[in-house]
Structure formats: C-alpha cells, structure tokens
C-alpha cells in the first residue's frame, strides 16, 4: 500500500512489536498479531500520537477495534484537530 500514513503506521507497529516482517491490513486487530496486548496497545497509541502530533481522547482509544479504525481516526484528527 503506497500511502504515506499507512507506511508510517506500519513502521511504528514494526518497531513497537519488534517484528520487521509485520504487515498490516484494514482489519488487522490485536487478535491477529502476537504480542499485541493491552500494554502494547498503549505503547502503539503513544507512538502514533507522537509521530502524527495528534492527541486522542480516552473514549476514542478504547473504542478502536482494528488498524483501519486507527488510520481513520488519525486522518480525521489531522483534517480537524480536536
């Protein structure tokens, strides 16, 4: 997928999850990735917020179901900061 946002997300996931071969899809969720537990979830959110210079609310973070929803949330926030 040649999308800068998607490429950045993949790089973040690979670094946090320590898996250079990890590939992400719209529906990829914690169930599909070894090591993606609640702690890793928070580390991913922190890394995403830092990279894209955005801030999510607690409710938004807890509602995220998969990578596609995270990407959509980043796009919304970049288009219209909270």
Partner 1 sequence: MELDGLNFLVFLGCVAGLQATLPARARAALLLGASLVFYALVSLPWLVLLLGLCLVNFAAASHLGRAGRPGGRTLVFTTTILLDLLVLIGFKYLPGIEAWLPATPTGGIWRIAVPLGLSYFTFQMVACVTDAYRETWQPEGGFRDFALFGLFFPQITSGPIPRAGSLLPQLRAGGAPTAPDRLAGLRMIALGFFKKFVVASRLSEYVTDIFNQPPAGNFVPSLLAAGFNVMQLYADFSGYVDIAIGSARFLGIRLDPNFDHPFSATSVSGFWRRWHMTLSFWLRDYLFMPLVIRLRNGGKPGIAAATIFTFAICGIWHGATWPFLLFGVAQGVAMALELLTKSWRTRMIRGLPERLVDRLGNVWVLVFFMLSEIMFRSTTLPQALTLYRHLFHLRLSGGIGGLLGAQPYSMALDGLAIAAWLGVDYLYDRTTDRATPWFVALCATLILLLGCVGSANFIYAAF
Query: Which residues here bind partner 1, judged by CB under 8 A?
Result: 18, 37-39, 42-43, 45-46, 58-59, 61-63
CB 38 to partner 1: min, Å: 5
Residues 6+ apart with CB under 8 A from 8: 51, 52
CB 2 to partner 1: min, Å: 31
Decide whether 63 or 76 has the Cβ nearer to partner 1.
63
**What are the angstrom distances between the C-alpha of 48 and each of 15, 16, 20, 52, 62?**
12, 10, 17, 6, 15
CB 46 to partner 1: min, Å: 5
């Amino acid at each position: 997928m040649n999308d800068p946002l998607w490429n950045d997300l993949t790089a973040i996931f690979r670094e946090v999850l320590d898996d250079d071969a990890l590939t992400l899809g719209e529906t990829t969720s914690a169930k599909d990735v070894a090591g993606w537990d609640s702690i890793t979830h928070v580390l991913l959110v922190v890394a995403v917020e830092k990279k894209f210079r955005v801030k999510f609310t607690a409710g938004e973070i807890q509602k995220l179901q998969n990578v596609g929803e995270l990407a959509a949330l980043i796009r919304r926030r970049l288009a219209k900061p909270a």
